[in-house]
Amino acid sequence: MRVSLFQVALLLVLIAGCTIRPAAPSTARGVEVLDERTGMTLATLKDPIELLPSVQVASVTFGKRTSFAYLGPVEWNRMGTISYGLWVHIAPGSDKQTGDIHVPGAVTLILDDGPIILSPIAAPGFGRDAYEAVVSWGQTAYFDLTVEMLRRMAASRKIALDVHAQDDSVIDFSTNKDFRSLLNGYMTGRDITAD
C-alpha cells in the first residue's frame, strides 16, 4: 500500500488537532478557566495591568534594566463558593531590588481615596497561576481582595503600588494607561455592580 504525501500531512494535522487544548474563553470581560481536577473556575483579566516605576526611579536608572510591577484581580469559584485575590508580580530590574513581597506589610496599594496595606494569602489549589509570570526570576504573590476593594480600584483614576526594597526604602510603581474600563468590564462579567 502506497501512502501519498498529502495523506501523511493530513494525518499529522489530525493528530496535532487532537493534542491541542482549546483556548480559555476570552472576552472583553476577562478569561475563565475550569480546572476539571478540582471543579474550580478561575476568572481573570485577559492580561494583568502593568505598573511602571516612578519618574524619580526611572531617571536615576537610565541605561539600567528597570523594574516593573503587574497586578490583576482573580476570582476563584468552587461550585458557587466565591473568593477573590489580587495577583501581583514584580519583574525586578538592575535598578533596585525589592524585598520579599510575601512578608505582611511589604506591599501597599495606593488608590485615589487612600492606601491599603495588602495582606498576603495562599491561593486555592488550582493547578496553575492566575496570570503568566512576566519574568521567571520575578516574585509573584496573591493578596486578599474584597469586592469593595475591587470597586475602589475600578473607581480610582490612578493605581499605584509601594513595594519595600531590600534597603528598607520604598519603590513606587503606578499605572500609565486607562485600566478603569478593564476593571469595570471584569466586574460586569463577575456580576459585581459598581455600587
Mean pLDDT, contiguous 10-residue spans, the chain (195 residues): 48 36 46 87 95 65 74 93 96 82 96 96 83 92 97 95 90 90 93 76
pLDDT recorded at residue 167: 86
Give me the DSSP letters along 46-86.
SSPEEEEEPHHHHHHTTTSPPPEEEEEEEEEEETTEEEEEE
Q: Is the dihedral of CA 122, 128, 133, 137 positive or negative?
A: positive
The CA distance from 107 to 105, in Å, is: 6
pLDDT recorded at residue 182: 93
List Cβ neighbours of 18 (8 Å cut-off, separation of 6 or more): none
Q: How many CB atoms lie within 10 A of CB 93?
A: 16
Based on the number of CB atoms within 10 Å of its own CB, is 90 exposed (0-12), middle (13-18) or buried (19 or more)?
A: buried
Based on the number of CB atoms within 10 Å of its own CB, is 125 exposed (0-12), middle (13-18) or buried (19 or more)?
A: exposed
pLDDT recorded at residue 13: 38
